[in-house]
Amino acid sequence: MVTAFVLIDAEPARVATLAGEVAAVEGVAEAYSVAGHADVVAVVRVRRIEDLAEVVTGRLHLLDGVTDTRTLVAFQSYSRKDLDAMWELGAP
């Protein structure tokens, strides 16, 4: 499983509508409108890296109002549950 975070820059008038459209794209698990260095963040979960390329360049980039994307590919997940379990393993 490949997980990636796609930071999406958008035309200001399209941000709210675009976030909903991003969430509807196949391969996008979650979408958030955000403040900061991007306007929308999409959490993408796909089977293969080739599928990620299709989601980003073949689907997200084609949405009206998208001006740029930056993709962060996750190496490993560290949820709170995982971190607690790691600390328990090392406890004396």
Q: What is the pLDDT of residue 77?
A: 84
What local confidence, expressed as pLDDT, does residue 36 receive?
94
pLDDT value for 87 = 62
| pLDDT-flagged residues of the chain (< 50) | none
How many whole angstroms separate alpha carbon 24 and alpha carbon 54? 15
Class of CATH domain 2-90: alpha beta
Residue extents of the structural domains in the chain? 2-90
Q: What is the pTM of this model?
A: 0.85
pLDDT at 79: 72
Residue bearing tokens 């599928």: 51
pLDDT at 89: 61
